[in-house]
Amino acid sequence: GAGPGDPGLLTVRGRQLLETAEVVVYDHLIGPQLLALCDAQARRVYVGKSADERSTSQQRINRLLVRLARQGRQVVRLKGGDPFVFGRGGEEVLALAQSRIPFEVVPGVSSAVAVPAYAGIPVTHRGLASSVTFFTGHEDPGKRDSSIDWAALARSPGTLVCLMAVGRLPGIIARLRQEGRLDSTPCALIERGTWPQQRTLTGTLGTMAASARHARVQAPAILVIGNVVRLRPQVRWAEQRPLFGRRVLITRAMEKGSQLAEQLMALGADVTALPTVVLRPVPLTARTRAALAQIPQTDWVFFTSAEGIVWLQDVLRRVRKDVRWLKGCHLAAIGPKTALSLRRLGLQVDFTPRRYQQEGVLKDLPRQRLQGKRAMLFNAAGSRDVLEQGLRRLGMQVTRVPVYRTLMPRALQARVAAACAISWDAVTATSASSAEHLYQALPKRKRRDFKRLPFVSIGPITSAAVRARGGRVVAQAKQATMEGLVEALCRYLK
Ligand code: SAH
């Protein structure tokens, strides 16, 4: 079970299996962010069906699963919501059982409960509803020998939740009214629940069919009928989030656990990632080797990015050393994230400035006793030399050692023009190079689109890089951190 849409609603077990699957067979409501959890080598097989699915296609899926499993592959069958709730997961595992193929069933968060929850509707509630009935709207309510007992549904005092509600909505409502359910019964119709595009219509059994037609509600949607709908005005939360439905382009990788993407999604944003920067190792030159040999005689070591220490370790490994080589050096980090990546290695950080940029380091560094001391900077090739020059002016002997390079990802060129043509609510810029690469990757005749993008930048240096290319900075973080950026974004989009 993949859950109802919000990628955060995948279970831990579901995630583990996705990450290790060799083949993933998935349906049409599965979002790209879940598929991104799969291993890059994993084969992805789309078997989406439209609303008028035919049983033959289900049989094809069953056969496909058996065939893949017989090839000895680790197969994940990824289905929306819970696999056994109107998901035909039962048929699929029966086919596997008949073929003696071992399987495991991982339940998912069903849209039947999660979608109402995201609309602020508890499906049961003391005093309002002590039962809930889930039923499919797929069946023709006019049919004589229906497998749904419409009279019983209409009489039930509890909540009714109808899945696959869109196609036959007027018929379903008419039938329930005909069987005696009151016109005044509260109703909610929730389209694309848990997604950033979630839309909720409320009304009564008497008004809902007309409202749904008017609003052109489309699948997937869920109809909730009953008094619990009255709780929505107090309980609604998802649509109230500060970035709900806002389309935000982030110009960095949506790597696993990408803090920025996760924070923005938790605030309700519709996040798309367009990685503009990849990090690569540098060649190990004689100069670098000589510099590394000097580490034990160094008084202060400066890190200007969280990545610096990661790549320094890579370089040290190549000369058969490790972080113990930094023993005795004072360590300075440009900001909290850099400090954290040092502390994670068990290293104590001796200095972090108040403003998280190279200028801030120079301003706050305890100036006494720096004269004549040795400093070493580990950073990206081609990065700004403000700190290097400033430390020299303070009388330090400075060695700068590039430990990684930032490059433009090859895939950027293919995607950039289409991405820049979209009208985003905000585009995040988290480094000068991300803005630079975005601009450079655009074909010349499309560069005008760059000027239209509403950039939210992490700090003054990045803002300057955006503006230098004619770009527009609509907001800038007060502190140069991801939290600062998120805060600036919320402020701007409020
Ligand atoms: N196994 C799935 C249901 C599959 S039937 C589950 O447990 O959620 C498909 C129906 O589920 C859709 O027609 C719709 O009624 C409902 N559905 C699934 N995802 C939804 C979503 N994000 N918003 C609203 N309805 C959804």
Task: Render pLDDT for 373-405 as a digit per residue (tens, 0 to 9).
Answer: 999 999 999 888 999 999 999 999 999 999 999
Other beta carbons less than 10 A from residue 223's beta carbon: 26
In whole angstroms, what is the distance from residue 372 CA to residue 367 CA?
12
Residue having the nearest C-alpha atom to atom 24 of ligand 1: 221
Locate 335 and state its tokens.
């900001």
Ligand 1 lined by 168 (C-beta under 6 Å): no
pLDDT score of 51: 54
pTM here is: 0.85
Active site residue 27: yes
Helix axes 306-318, 286-293, angle to 10 degrees: 100
Active site residue 254: no
Task: Render pLDDT for 18-55 as a digit per residue (tens, 0 to 9).
Answer: 999 999 999 988 988 899 899 989 999 999 865 555 55
Task: Render pLDDT for 274-307 as a digit per residue (tens, 0 to 9).
Answer: 999 988 999 999 999 999 999 999 999 999 998 9
Does residue 462 register a pLDDT over 70? yes
Active site residue 270: no
Q: Which of 6, 79, 164, 208 is catalytic?
A: 164
Closest residue by Cα to residue 315 from 289, 287, 337, 279:
289
Ligand 1 lined by 190 (C-beta under 6 Å): yes
In whole angstroms, what is the distance from residue 149 CA to residue 314 CA?
67
Q: How far is the CA of 62 from the centre of ligand 1 (A)?
A: 21
Ligand 1 lined by 3 (C-beta under 6 Å): no
Ligand 1 lined by 332 (C-beta under 6 Å): no
Question: Could you please report the per-residue DSSP string of 419-461?
Answer: HHHS--SEEEE-SHHHHHHHHHHS-GGGHHHHHHSEEEESSHH
CB-side exposure of 335: number of CA atoms within 13 Å? 19
CB 275 within 8 A of CB 416: no
Other beta carbons less than 10 A from residue 426's beta carbon: 23
Q: How far is the CA of 407 from the centre of ligand 1 (A)?
A: 41
